[in-house]
Structure 1
Amino acid sequence: MAVSRIIGECLDALLHPSARYDALTTARHRAFLAPRLLGSLAAFAAFPLYLVLRGAPTALEAAAFSWLIAPILVAWFLSRTGRYEQAHLLSSLALTSLVVGVAALTGGIQSFAAVWLVVIPIEAALSASRRAVTFAASLALGGAALLIGLGLFGVLPTPTAGAASSATLAAFGITSAALYASGLAYGAVWLARTNGALLNVEEERYRLLARNMSDVISRHNRNGAVRFISPAAENLLGTPVARLAEHGLFDRVHVADRPAYLKAMSDAARGRETGSVEFRIRRDVARDERGRPSAAEFVWVEMRCRPLESNLTTTAASNAGETEVVAVMRDITERKIHEQALDQARAEADRADAAKSRFLATMSHELRTPLNAIIGFSDMILQDDVLMLGPERRKEYAQLINDSGQHLLSVVNGILDMSKMESGSFEIVPEPFAPRPALLNCCNLLALKARDSGIDLVTRAPENLPEVVGDPRAFKQILLNLVSNAIKFTERGGTVTVSAAVEGTRLVLRVTDTGVGIAEEDLKRLGDPFFQAGKTYQRRHEGTGLGLSIVKSLVRMHGGEIEVQSQIDCGTTVTVSLPLALPAGSNVTTLNPAMPADSPAPDYQVKKSA
């Protein structure tokens, strides 16, 4: 063991630096160096013994022993240059020259040395190079043909050794050739085992990588059919890998994304750089008793594909449509969710910016108009001695100032209420109260406004309405905003109907008008702060756009629902459904604008009338 270790260390010291970074290349270089160096050194070591047994060598024998330095020179060439194939070519040439030379002087094709011609291609086989084997076989056959030809024409000298000596030389030639061939066979076996061990290690390494990496590696035909797919596909798609063979993967791709999937495969098969493609693919999330998928979902994946390198240079395979593609897929569902959240946040920011612009535009009008009236009429009253205003005119101006102040106060109160609701600081104080008197009181407050506008205000409230647990002030504010909006957006001669009824455990309020109605595209945004339906140049009625938004917030704080049905020029119906009793365990409710992820579905619905 110590001797073999020493020999191995010496061989490693002779290796060219280029052969030290790959285990298989190192093994081949060592298998080349070992027999040539050890064989030549053994022959030189046996030369003194040969002299003792044979006496002074002949010129032929001296030349043969001198030629044994050639393998050492070839080994030195490999050690210095690292050119493995060229070293094999030189070794075959040197061995053929030695064999042909000795055989030509010792009997031609019948010489003991001729059997070494068989060893030459066997030795070259260790190179794993067709070029080296072809060259060695050509040299061996050429040497044999040369010896046969020289023998037929009587050019070769007649051997002078006796029969016993010829037999001894023949035995020596056959034995030495057999021993050298055996050494080559052991070298071939050692290389094969080394290669197999390296392949097993490499295979286990890639198998470990394929099993534990989250990305899916797959191999496809040009039409996308799966030839191989890594085990990670089972975790990604929730199905055994065997079911994805052929078109099993394509069948799972979302129908809308299949053209992009096939285009990426086709482009990669043609050798084009496709970058990456994103598509949705079905994942099985549950299975029945028979193992069939019972529930599935679509997940987003990103796929990068490119042609196999082995097929890039195979023109015939490419022409036959056999070009294959290797693809790497990665789950990007979480990234897509983040992108959608970012897009939604960007849209919300845009809407907030637009709301701010609408707020400034609306408030500049809503605040300027009553302020102008207050300032103008108050100035006229101050100039009473100049204008000589009578008592009735001063009273009229004072009423106009009061109305403008009340309007201004309502605008400011609306803004303050909306601000409190959005910040979560608006509180309601629930208590039992009778809804019918509150409803009648609100309608009576707005009856004069309806009569002045030429609108019929109809109230339908059964006397047996039960008590409701809620905030009476908020209840009145809901009714006042809804009824005043209905009156404001109804033309003269129209009708506004306010009704109340109990349906199950809820009190249902309906405010119906025969007014201008709301367009379908505006229904979705109805209730947003400062939003007003219709384009600015089309509106016949102005306002702050806070009324319905405040109603929506107050209804939500009571745990209720609101629904709007409308049609242009046919009227609008707003339905508010409030629970008769708030949930037990809380007597104060605040609006939290930051809804948690597990919050119930929005309670604000919009519909277009049939």
Structure 2
Amino acid sequence: MSAGAFLSSFRRGIVAAVAPQLRADPAECLRQETFLASQLLLTLATLLAFPVYLYAWGKPDVAEVAVFALSLGPALCALHVSRTGNLERGVVLAGGAAALLVTAVVLSTGGLASPALVFMAVLPGLIMFARSRLATVAVAAAPVAAISAVAGLAATGAAEAGPAPGAALTAALAAAAMASLLGWSARRSFSGQLAQSLSRGGADAELLDHAPDLVVRLRRNGNLLAANAAARRLLGLAPEDLAGEGLVRCIHVQDRPVYLQAMDTAWLDGSATAGIRLKDGDGAFEQVELRVRRIGERRKDADLVGMLRNVQSQVESEAALRSALAAAERASIGKGRLLANMSHELRTPLNAILGFSEILATELMGKFEQERHREYAQLIHDSGSHLLDVVNAILDMSKLETGRFQVFPEPFHLDEAIKACRQLMEPQAAQGGILLEADGLGPEEEVTADPRAVKQILLNLMSNAIKFTPPGGKVMVGAYRTETGAVALYVADEGRGIAPEDIDRLGEPFVQLKTGYDHGGGTGLGLSVVRGLAQLHDGTMRIESTLGRGTRVTIVLPQADRMETVVPVRPARAATLRPPVDADLPDRLTA
């Protein structure tokens, strides 16, 4: 059998010797395979040295047979680990067996003068397999106890200096040293195949290597056991370069405590998330999101699995967004201050203009010599009133946009509000030859809303309807209860209507549509204010219109069950909730 075939068969045997209950854990399988290989190679080397010893020294005595019998201890430890899967106990037993073997060899080859004493320094190498503190201390204490025993026996004269070891014994010790080297080489060979060991199916390992994020297996102390191929893309390093403390060295010094804290949290609570900075292949630090979870139950040897994702572009985008929001807030504050100052600076002279122009138009201070002068005074008053309405609309829209417009819901009689608004708008409707009618819930019905906001909604909708209705047309304002108990306010007109493609634009600030009829002026803010006031009540605005038939705007306001109030609402009269529009209005009002 060739050396390659032997090593291949040996490796398959080692893989099969791992305890079945641990084969689902790739990292633990790797540790156990490495330990089993090192112990079996050490026993094999000792057995190969036994025939050489017999050829050189002849028949061994009882003591020498006992020494060679002790060399079978590593194989027994490997058998125990293969059967039980308890690697920590196997490491402790292997450390004790090795210390006992070296002690026997030292005592039989000269005591403290024996050249075999140097092998005491090799025994702590088993610590690399230990994961618990108890196993580490036990393995480290084994050679110390062995040396102390040899020294004690030498001090009492129980161990006399014997002859120097012969060539055969030297060869046996050399074989043992070679076995140690073979064990180390086997461990390095297994570590080099870590990517394959992580997924024995092959396809899973390939899938993991193509993952865009860095997937790692970690110890509780943060040391890396395995990583996928994303390490090259994210950090510019091979996965094996991150093993042990390699990943920790790539973390920014200030973020290392955060990383270690995430390890402890994940081990204790099952999962943790942290933001850290990792050094990439160019030496620059990139912001990375770390998500780590514990594998299995919480125990001393439980590992962690983590995923690291580069979020540098996301962090930069969020920073740019925060900067833009801060700039927008500063601009909004500046606009609010400008509008507040404009309100004061414009309203004061406007009130004076309106007051004096009204005095002149009504000729309280005396008759005009010419009728045209009185008309001029009335034009000044009308223009001032229009400008004041524009200023008020802009200020209301600004308050709605900045969230400074507050509503105070309270119970009130909606019919009284509709009646008051109708009386205010009747002169304007009569001037345009328009019939203005109203229909409410009934004199005893109460609704819960902000009375001031409801009146402003009705006035804005009625004003728009009157502006866009030709002479001889009709406008109707009313209210009814919906099936859910909400209050619906509506204003319907007999205007030219609105094209379907333009309806979605209505309600945007400063949008004015050309309908073919004189729109009567305005700023395009009326419906914007109405929609904003409805939203402050958690309500909605719906526009229904058909060209050539008319337009209906409906505002639905939820009541006590959806607003922050405990005022009860009286049950509606189901028979009189919805106004008989088809009976009271021309057919085109029902669009």
**Do both share a fold (TM > 0.5)?**
no
TM-score w.r.t. the length of structure 1 is 0.37
User: Rg larger in 1 or in 2?
Assistant: 1
TM-score w.r.t. length of structure 2: 0.38
